[in-house]
Amino acid sequence: MPRPTDNAERYELSEQEKRDLIQLIQTGKPLPEKYRFLLFADKREVELVWSGKTRDICTAVLPFQTLEHIDEPRKEIREVEEPSLALGGGGRQSRDWTNKLIWGDNKLILSSLKSGALRRQIEDAGGLKLIYIDPPFDVGADFSMDVEIGGETFHKKPNILEEIAYRDTWGRGADSFIAMLYERLILMKDLMHKDAGIYVHCDWRVNAFIRLIMDEIFGKDRFNNEVIWHYEKWTASSKMLQKNHDNIIHFTKGPAWTFNEQREITDNLKEKYERGYLIGGGYGATGLVVYDKDNPKVKELIATGKYQVVYADTSGKPLSDVWRIPFINPVASERLDYPTQKPETLIERIIRISSNPGDLVADFFCGSGTTAAVAEKLGRKWIATDLGKFGIHTTRKRLIGVQRELKAAGKNFRAFEVLNLGRYERQAYLNVPANLSAKRRADALARKEREYRELILRAYRASPLENDAFFHGQHAGRLIAIGPINLPVGRLFIEEVIVECRKRGASRADILAFEFEMGLFPAILEEAKRKGIDLSPKTIPPEVFDKRAVDKGQVRFADIAYIDAAPRYDKKNKLALSIELTDFSVFYSQGFVDSVIAELKEGKSEVVCEAGKLIKIAKDKNGVITRETLTKKWTDWVDYWAVDFDYQSRKEIIKVPRTFGAKGELPGMVTADGEFLDFEEQWTGSYIFENEWQSFRTRQNRELDLKTTRHIYEKAGGYVVAIKVIDIFGNDTMTLIPINVG
């Protein structure tokens, strides 16, 4: 209980006030704000308050699933390895720390980094020294993307997770945005090194709010700078001044922090760097005369020996807190047409000022990956996270490009891995308290599983089947079987679906699952068709756990995409192999064509995606509708593909808590005695995709290689090759091919 304040000691409550307070407490009503300061010790002079404010933070600790590991940016065949590229030389992988690109909700990511097994890796890497974040502060932000395909531009809308997390963050006004950021800033502070700093990028909409909550979380004495990023942006005239700047607020965690002075050449010094000056008397009040080497009079003065030529210091003056940096040039190589992309020059300044080579830098709203790209170029380690799958995919391509550039220049680079919370986030949905009796625990788990199935059926707009021991529901004349929440659906499950269909005399069924084992399709569907069963496997999207998305009917279940690839053996070298991508089919739907037609204005057109095809819908001035299919060939869908030539060479190992602190500390945290709580390793049964070769489209180069360079195995034998394809929307599909060489 907070102690009484000095005001409370001096202020005596009247009997009426006491009775009023008692009545308010008994009826569960809030006390008038003035009593907060009269009755309790509240030393905060200024505080931002919003509805539902709390310092309770997420404490979930989930293992990270490793989706992909990218060591070599692209392995090209060499019959003899050049000595200059031997391990440890220039242009090769730097050891000790692997950079992290993490897909998912940054609240869960931060909580799991703070108290999970990766915390030790962060501490061993020297601790998290710098954070830069650019949260979605724009109330009108549009996170859609323009995708080039078939000679047209397709407008990719944000997926439901992005739409709800970003745009609907503002659904209740600024307080919902501040509540979101407040919890994450608390988690970030706990994760930071004692000498770390944090930069938060914002603008006039929220800069006052953010400054206040950072004062509260970090302390007013930890405020260091507010950078004004000034740029030229011309908009339509209005009765106000042009808004041509953003704010970047810098706080530090402790009294010490990294600061590397930067200098700049400003406009008013530019001429001094280009032209010299004569030092002497009698020429102006300052005694300086502009030096012009072609002026005969100046030459004559110099010849007298009374004047000396000097130039301004070309190092410039110390950098101020106003940075004049233009937006990204439309033709710049760094431009990705990502809606929130910031110039690399801006991020480079921040990283140079507040970190040193080898330091760990993080961006928990990474977008197109500018922070990670600049950190890699400047020799920093990095962690980058984002909720949007397309943002993660854009960042992956960008970082591979940076790796290639560094390698070509003979500079070292770091491997990075793509992680998410994946199936472990789903497992957390089924968690029940460990202190329950065996029966109560079983009952609680059964209830959770029942609620999970009901949720899936509601999102799929299906009717439940109450009296069926196997199938869970039905929709449009099709039976529905829901796969397990924490395991991929395999051949045995699908074969059981076929058997149960035949028992009931049913010929059509949908199988809903978060994951399917690789290599199942299309062979097992053809097998079912021969038995008279039409099976339709569909992937359950992550947004199914968001009640708002379900209530709005926004959850879309995607059909499975298929990859067809063929091994190409080398006739001269029996240990050599190439992979050729021969087909890729997609069943992605963005929206309904009928609704687009209904809303389309005369004389306008729009490109929509429906049943695996991109269709251009046009309405002429007479209201006549025309449709044109833009996807002429299957390669139009492929944005990126990669190959792991020995997929089963590296098991996916996760670390799970083994011991807990005696005082109830979370696993992964340092105890009061300085001991780091222990984790044990477990194999998940899966393997990590080692990205050894890849081809992808960029804004500058739309070409795609459909055949890999040769891969030479060290010894003869059987191997499993994994092929991963990522479509133009960032969705990934993988297939496995068994091969034999030698």
Residue 82 lies in a domain: yes
Tens of pLDDT, residues 288-322: 455 565 677 777 777 777 776 666 666 778 899 99
Residue ending a domain, choose from 537, 559, 581: 559
Residue 283 lies in a domain: yes
Share of the chain above pLDDT 90, in %: 37
Look up the domain containing 659 and give its range: 651-680
| CA distance linking residue 91 with residue 84, whole number of Å | 9
Q: Are residues 588 and 726 in the same domain?
A: yes
Contact 53, 179 (CB under 8 A): yes
Torsion sign across C-alpha atoms 420, 422, 428, 434: negative
In this structure, the number of other CB atoms found within 10 A of the CB of residue 411 comes to 14
| CA distance linking residue 481 with residue 302, whole number of Å | 94
Beta bridge partners of residue 264, listed in sequence order: 317
pLDDT higher than 60, residue 532 = yes
Q: Are residues 629 and 708 in the same domain?
A: yes
Residue 48 lies in a domain: no
pTM of the model: 0.78
| CA distance linking residue 614 with residue 600, whole number of Å | 17
pLDDT at 462: 92
- Mean pLDDT for the stretch of residues 461-470: 89
CATH of residue 218: 3.40.50.150
Q: Are residues 466 and 527 in the same domain?
A: yes
In this structure, the number of other CB atoms found within 10 A of the CB of residue 294 comes to 6
Beta bridge partners of residue 627, listed in sequence order: 617
| CA distance linking residue 57 with residue 181, whole number of Å | 11
Contact 112, 142 (CB under 8 A): no
| CA distance linking residue 549 with residue 539, whole number of Å | 16
pLDDT at 633: 82
Tens of pLDDT, residues 111-148: 999 988 899 899 999 999 999 999 986 544 444 555 66
Tens of pLDDT, residues 690-724: 999 999 988 778 889 999 999 999 999 999 999 99
Measured in degrees and rounded to the nearest 5, phi and psi for residue 292 equal -130, 110
Range among 256-270, 280-294, 350-364, 574-588 rated most confident: 350-364
Q: Are residues 667 and 627 in the same domain?
A: no
Tell me which of 164 and 444 has the higher pLDDT. Answer: 444
pLDDT higher than 80, residue 614 = no
Q: Are residues 555 and 578 in the same domain?
A: no
Residue 226 lies in a domain: yes
Residue ending a domain, choose from 426, 441, 467: 426
Q: Are residues 305 and 395 in the same domain?
A: no
| CA distance linking residue 307 with residue 131, whole number of Å | 52
Residue 271 lies in a domain: yes
pLDDT at 123: 95
CATH of residue 712: 2.60.40
Residue 54 lies in a domain: no
- Mean pLDDT for the stretch of residues 11-40: 78
Backbone Cα Rg of the chain: 31
Tell me which of 313 and 616 has the higher pLDDT. Answer: 616
Q: Are residues 205 and 333 in the same domain?
A: yes
Residue ending a domain, choose from 540, 559, 578: 559
Measured in degrees and rounded to the nearest 5, phi and psi for residue 57 equal -125, 165
Q: Are residues 139 and 285 in the same domain?
A: no
Q: Are residues 396 and 476 in the same domain?
A: no
| CA distance linking residue 338 with residue 147, whole number of Å | 11
What are the Cα distances from residue 312, in Å, to 280, 302, 307, 362, 670? 16, 18, 16, 38, 53
Q: Are residues 331 and 211 in the same domain?
A: yes
Total tally of structural domains belonging to the chain: 6
- Scored b (16 or more CB within 10 A) or e, 296-322 reads eebeebbeeeebeeeebeeeeeebeee
- Mean pLDDT for the stretch of residues 41-62: 78
Two tokens, residue 231: 């740029």
pLDDT higher than 80, residue 647 = yes
pLDDT higher than 50, residue 197 = yes
Q: Are residues 157 and 250 in the same domain?
A: yes
pLDDT at 732: 83
Residue 76 lies in a domain: yes
Q: Are residues 505 and 644 in the same domain?
A: no
Q: Closest Cα to residue 130, out of 309, 267, 264, 260?
A: 260
Residue 458 lies in a domain: yes
- Scored b (16 or more CB within 10 A) or e, 388-402 reads bbbbbbbbbbbbbbb
pLDDT at 194: 96
Beta bridge partners of residue 278, listed in sequence order: 289, 309
In this structure, the number of other CB atoms found within 10 A of the CB of residue 77 comes to 13
pLDDT at 305: 72
